[in-house]
């Protein structure tokens, strides 16, 4: 019975975060169905690798420890044990020999290795910049972790703060990150979210010649509106005005920089101040236009300077109105009645007069500017001023600068890890003081820790080598075949992981450049009232009680059957009981089996069920897979004698879905091959098809499956058709044209509509 193990199949779920409580319904809905898929693949003969670990570093664990006056290390160990027990209870088929825990030195040594590899390749660098600071978390957070101006974790308003920070150069991979999306089997919405986040836009740089001051280069996607540029606006952070002597300018800059991200966003009214000495010349019209400093211009995008074209840009329009600047139209828009192209035609623009905007852009870019592509993506800030994370493996030496430390740099077990202005590790003198590896002089360690997303950006490479202490992984490591996890990671974890893999690929450490070939996001289980489950609402439902009451198979099967996996939906006790009922029926039909030969009907449904279940389990369409099995059971129960061989196939089909029950009924089932449909029985000898005349159903007839179209036409008994459409096994449609009094839909409509109107 043992089949040949062949192709390796790497099935992975996002590893859980062992914070405060136990695994919740969301975890179960992620893990149980994904486990069904992995078990199915195993029975199909794949050498399935299905590991599980713990994403143990991070803020929630640390904050929880602070609140409860415990230590995150101790809590994590306790929680992990609880998680592990729950995962076993769930009946998960995991390769526990290859587990990993991101807060253990055996793991984070290699996270530090990754950091140093990026550092040595110039992809990790330090820079002083305006960073996102969360006062409540007392740490810097990455762009991706700022959600509409607030901290993703605690919803505190984010402020900007100048700070020297470590960054990963994810922007260098913007184009690759974009391009790779076309090659992977991921949900469209996730790809779209990433494209959105990367935010590529193609445009041009145009330089305005300075008359009294320096030249100013702006970025624009609409160079065709250049003739309508009546002012220039610079971001408050722009280097050209950094040392501007004008008091009003200095005051304005200082005020803008104080504002938080959120305040800037909320303050929709444009403000700005005109500079005294800068006047620049429009390269197209030759005229001189004023320069403003305005905080609606972002330093981080384009060149930090924009040309103000009030007639064709909403923001510029608002600004121009407020400061009484000229509004000059240079493009015909939809409102202009005589507009003939979709794209607009250039007017009043000298030698470009009359060109469509797209053409004009191309021509003007080569004449007056330089084409340039910009991205919204920012480099990933990875320093955290907190305790519970992997220490940044860098030693700072006054003479030699930032020097790689010997790894692992062990995170000390601090009794007091409360953030008090400085990062907690700074208080540990033993940790802080170090010797420079280069000059052997006095130096100090970097006291910040790495963003947890660094830990999770590469863990899937580590699993197969979890027990190796000489290497993080080897070049022969394989990408994940199917990755299952929440859609909330669309732009953080999933983007970071892709970046890290691309970087490692470029450095020659691995042989692929996309980590997850296929991505599935499970939906969300809602409370029975259709609301999101929340402790504050008191509507949470916990899986543990149900498992205790009904057994894990019932809960698992309900998760498979009760929802479309990708959509999720509200929890229902009633529907859960129905799956318990179904398992009882399966047991009963199994007990009633006898050594009879299956009837042709049973052979047929057996074959079609096997085929359908195979397809459904492969495509994560669990609900229909269960439905097919239910039909199969119904058919078997209707038999006087239940043929054993068919029932055994049923148990094999169900084994990935109800592993405990299946193993009990058929010991060793999980090592047996998944049933293969007998082609012979897939089609019946006879089939019922629909007869249509002029696309209306007039009859249903039974025909031999192998009948030719001529034979079917004869059997249908319709004559005089001008055209016949025959879909084998489905329908035959006789078009008797022109239409007799009983008319088709279109005629009816054209007659009926005018009189109704």
Partner RNA sequence: GGGUUUGUGGCGGAAUGGCAGACGCGCUGGUCUUAGGAACCAGUGAGCAAUCGUGGAGGUUCGAGUCCUCUCAAACCCACCA
Q: Map the footprint of RNA across residues 117-146, applying CB under 7 A.
A: 144
Total count of residues recorded for the chain? 757
According to CB under 7 A, which one of 242, 255, 548, 581 is a site residue for RNA? 581
Q: Map the footprint of RNA across residues 300-329, applying CB under 7 A.
A: 300-302, 304, 306-307, 309, 313-315, 318
Q: Map the footprint of RNA across residues 677-696, applying CB under 7 A.
A: 688-690, 692, 694-695
Nearer to RNA, 84 or 372 (CB): 372
Angle subtended at Cα 384 by Cα 381 and Cα 387, rounded to the nearest 5 degrees: 160
Q: Sign (positive/negative) of CA torsion 397, 402, 403, 408?
A: positive
> What are the beta bridge partners of residue 139?
134
According to CB under 7 A, which one of 193, 347, 660, 701 is a site residue for RNA? 193
Nearer to RNA, 99 or 157 (CB): 157
Residue 752 in tokens: 């009926």
Q: Map the footprint of RNA across residues 697-716, applying CB under 7 A.
A: 697, 700
According to CB under 7 A, which one of 197, 208, 453, 458 is a site residue for RNA? 197
In angstroms, what is the minimal distance from the CB of 736 to RNA? 10
In angstroms, what is the minimal distance from the CB of 209 to RNA? 19
In angstroms, what is the minimal distance from the CB of 666 to RNA? 21
Residue 688 burial (CB < 10 Å; 0-12/13-18/19+)? exposed
Q: What span, in angstroms and rounded, lies between the C-alpha atoms of 571 and 531?
A: 10
In angstroms, what is the minimal distance from the CB of 380 to RNA? 14
Phi, psi (rounded to 5 degrees) for 280: -120, 160
Residue 692 in tokens: 């249509």
In angstroms, what is the minimal distance from the CB of 274 to RNA? 17
Chain centroid to CA 584: how far? 39
First-to-last alpha carbon distance for the chain, in angstroms, is: 72
According to CB under 7 A, which one of 203, 236, 389, 551 is a site residue for RNA? 203
Indicate the DSSP class of residue 540: -
Residue 81 burial (CB < 10 Å; 0-12/13-18/19+)? exposed
Q: What span, in angstroms and rounded, lies between the C-alpha atoms of 23 and 17?
A: 9
How many residues touch RNA (CB under 7 A)?
Answer: 91
Nearer to RNA, 304 or 391 (CB): 304
Residue 561 burial (CB < 10 Å; 0-12/13-18/19+)? buried
Residue pair 642/588 in contact (Cβ under 8 Å)? The answer is: no
Q: Map the footprint of RNA across residues 55-114, applying CB under 7 A.
A: none
Nearer to RNA, 522 or 552 (CB): 522
In angstroms, what is the minimal distance from the CB of 438 to RNA? 40
Give the C-alpha distances (Å, rounded to integers) separating 450 from 166, 393, 586, 593: 9, 10, 51, 60
Q: Map the footprint of RNA across residues 217-236, applying CB under 7 A.
A: 219-222, 235
Nearer to RNA, 264 or 363 (CB): 264
> Nearest to residue 670, comparing CAs of 95, 97, 93, 96?
93
In angstroms, what is the minimal distance from the CB of 555 to RNA? 15
In angstroms, what is the minimal distance from the CB of 122 to RNA? 25
Q: Map the footprint of RNA across residues 235-254, applying CB under 7 A.
A: 235
Nearer to RNA, 300 or 354 (CB): 300
Chain centroid to CA 497: how far? 11
Residue pair 173/495 in contact (Cβ under 8 Å)? The answer is: no
Interaction between residue 451 and RNA (CB under 7 A): no
Q: Which stretch binds RNA (CB under 7 A): 103-111, 209-217, 494-502, 580-588?
A: 580-588
Residue for token pair 């003969």: 45
In angstroms, what is the minimal distance from the CB of 733 to RNA? 4
**Burial profile 718-755: b = 16 or more Cβ within 10 angstroms, e = fewer:** beebeebebeeeebbbbeeeeeeeeeeeeeeeeeeeee
Nearer to RNA, 7 or 189 (CB): 189
According to CB under 7 A, which one of 99, 126, 135, 201 is a site residue for RNA? 201
Nearer to RNA, 507 or 566 (CB): 566
How many of the other CB atoms lie within 10 Å of CB of 50? 22
Nearer to RNA, 223 or 355 (CB): 223
According to CB under 7 A, which one of 70, 333, 564, 594 is a site residue for RNA? 564
In angstroms, what is the minimal distance from the CB of 696 to RNA? 8
Nearer to RNA, 55 or 144 (CB): 144
Q: Map the footprint of RNA across residues 262-281, applying CB under 7 A.
A: 264-265, 267-270
**Burial profile 481-503: b = 16 or more Cβ within 10 angstroms, e = fewer:** bbbbbbbebbbbbbbbbbbbbbb
In angstroms, what is the minimal distance from the CB of 498 to RNA? 15
Nearer to RNA, 166 or 563 (CB): 563
Q: Map the footprint of RNA across residues 506-545, applying CB under 7 A.
A: none
Nearer to RNA, 507 or 638 (CB): 638
Nearer to RNA, 3 or 581 (CB): 581
SS (H, E, C) 649-660: HHHHHHCCCCHH
Q: Sign (positive/negative) of CA torsion 618, 623, 627, 632?
A: positive
Q: What span, in angstroms and rounded, lies between the C-alpha atoms of 666 and 681?
A: 25
Nearer to RNA, 86 or 608 (CB): 608
> What are the beta bridge partners of residue 74?
none
Q: Map the footprint of RNA across residues 16-35, applying CB under 7 A.
A: none
According to CB under 7 A, which one of 490, 608, 609, 661 is a site residue for RNA? 490
In angstroms, what is the minimal distance from the CB of 306 to RNA? 4
In angstroms, what is the minimal distance from the CB of 581 to RNA? 4
Q: Map the footprint of RNA across residues 584-623, applying CB under 7 A.
A: 584-585, 621, 623
Q: Map the footprint of RNA across residues 726-745, applying CB under 7 A.
A: 727, 730-731, 733, 735, 744-745
Q: Map the footprint of RNA across residues 369-398, applying CB under 7 A.
A: 376
Indicate the DSSP class of residue 5: P
Residue pair 338/265 in contact (Cβ under 8 Å)? The answer is: no
Nearer to RNA, 33 or 203 (CB): 203
Q: Which stretch binds RNA (CB under 7 A): 16-24, 460-468, 505-513, 579-587?
A: 579-587
With a CB cutoff of 8 Å and minimum separation 6, the contacts of 515 are 460, 461, 479, 480, 483, 497, 498, 500, 501
User: Longest C-alpha distance within the chain, in Å?
Assistant: 102
Q: What span, in angstroms and rounded, lies between the C-alpha atoms of 433 and 430?
A: 6
Nearer to RNA, 13 or 295 (CB): 295
Q: Map the footprint of RNA across residues 622-681, applying CB under 7 A.
A: 623-624, 626-627, 630-631, 634, 637-638
């Amino acid at each position: 019975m043992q089949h040949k193990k062949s192709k390796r199949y790497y099935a992975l779920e996002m590893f859980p975060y062992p914070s405060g409580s136990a695994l919740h319904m969301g975890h179960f809905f992620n893990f149980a169905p994904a486990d069904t898929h992995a078990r199915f693949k195993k029975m199909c003969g794949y050498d399935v690798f299905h590991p599980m670990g713990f994403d143990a570093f991070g803020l929630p664990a640390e904050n929880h420890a602070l609140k409860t006056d415990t230590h995150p290390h101790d809590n994590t160990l306790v929680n992990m044990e609880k998680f592990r027990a729950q995962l076993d209870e769930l009946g998960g088929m995991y390769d526990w020999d290859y587990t990993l825990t991101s807060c253990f030195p055996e793991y984070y040594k290699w996270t530090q290795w990754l950091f140093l590899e990026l550092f040595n390749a110039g992809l990790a660098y330090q820079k002083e910049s305006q960073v996102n600071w969360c006062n409540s978390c007392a740490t810097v957070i990455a762009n991706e972790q700022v959600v509409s101006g607030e901290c993703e974790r605690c919803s505190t308003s984010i402020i900007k703060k100048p700070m020297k920070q470590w960054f990963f150069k994810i922007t260098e991979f913007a184009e690759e990150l974009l391009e790779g999306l076309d090659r992977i089997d991921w949900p469209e919405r996730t790809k779209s979210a990433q494209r959105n986040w990367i935010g590529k836009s193609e445009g041009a740089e145009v330089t305005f010649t300075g008359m009294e001051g320096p030249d100013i280069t702006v970025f624009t996607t609409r160079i065709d509106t250049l003739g309508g540029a009546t002012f220039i606006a610079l971001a408050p952070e722009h280097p050209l005005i950094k040392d501007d002597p004008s008091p009003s300018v200095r005051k304005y800059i200082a005020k803008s920089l104080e504002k938080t991200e959120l305040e800037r966003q909320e303050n929709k009214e444009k403000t700005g101040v005109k500079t005294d000495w800068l006047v620049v010349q429009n390269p197209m019209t030759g005229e001189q236009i004023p320069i403003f400093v305005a905080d609606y211009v972002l330093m981080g995008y384009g060149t930090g300077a924009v040309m103000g074209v009030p007639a064709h840009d909403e923001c510029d329009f608002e600004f121009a109105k407020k400061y009484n600047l000229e509004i000059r139209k240079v493009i015909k828009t939809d409102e202009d009645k005589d507009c003939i192209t979709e794209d607009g035609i250039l007017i009043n623009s000298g030698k470009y007069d009359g060109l469509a905007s797209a053409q004009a852009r191309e021509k003007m870019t080569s004449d007056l500017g330089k084409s340039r592509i910009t991205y919204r993506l920012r480099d990933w800030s990875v320093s955290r001023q907190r305790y519970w994370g992997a220490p940044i493996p860098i030693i700072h030496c006054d003479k030699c600068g930032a020097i790689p430390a010997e790894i692992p740099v062990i995170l000390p077990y601090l009794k007091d890890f409360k953030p008090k202005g400085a990062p907690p590790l700074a208080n540990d003198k033993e940790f802080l003081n170090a010797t420079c590896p280069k000059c052997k002089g006095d130096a100090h360690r970097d006291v910040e820790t790495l963003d947890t997303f660094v830990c999770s950006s590469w863990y899937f490479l580590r699993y197969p080598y979890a027990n190796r202490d000489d290497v993080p992984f080897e070049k022969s490591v394989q990408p994940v075949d199917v990755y299952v996890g929440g859609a909330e990671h669309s732009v953080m974890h999933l983007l970071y992981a892709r970046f890290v893999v691309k970087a490692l690929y470029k450095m020659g450490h691995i042989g692929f450049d996309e980590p997850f070939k296929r991505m599935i996001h499970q939906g969300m289980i809602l409370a029975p009232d259709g609301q999101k489950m929340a402790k504050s609402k008191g509507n949470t439902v916990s899986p543990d009680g149900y498992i205790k009451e009904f057994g894990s198979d019932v809960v698992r099967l309900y998760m498979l059957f009760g929802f479309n996996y990708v959509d999720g939906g509200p929890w229902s006790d009633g529907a859960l009981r129905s799956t318990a009922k179904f398992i009882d029926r399966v047991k009963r039909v199994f007990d009633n089996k006898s050594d009879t030969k299956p009837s042709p009907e049973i052979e047929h449904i057996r074959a079609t069920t096997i085929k359908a279940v195979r397809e459904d389990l492969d495509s994560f369409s669990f609900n229909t897979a269960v439905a097919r099995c239910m039909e199969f059971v119904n058919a078997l129960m209707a038999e006087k004698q239940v043929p054993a061989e068919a029932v055994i196939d049923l148990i094999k089909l169900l084994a990935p879905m109800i592993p405990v029950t299946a193993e009990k009924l058929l010991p060793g089932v999980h090592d047996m091959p998944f049933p293969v449909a007998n082609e012979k029985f897939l089609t019946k000898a006879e089939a019922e098809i629909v007869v249509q005349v002029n696309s209306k159903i007039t009859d249903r007839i039974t025909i031999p499956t192998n009948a030719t179209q001529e034979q079917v036409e004869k059997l249908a008994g319709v004559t005089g058709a001008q055209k016949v459409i025959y879909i084998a096994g489905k329908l035959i449609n006789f078009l008797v044209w022109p239409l007799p009094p009983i008319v088709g839909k279109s005629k009816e409509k054209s007659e009926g509509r005018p009189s109704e109107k």
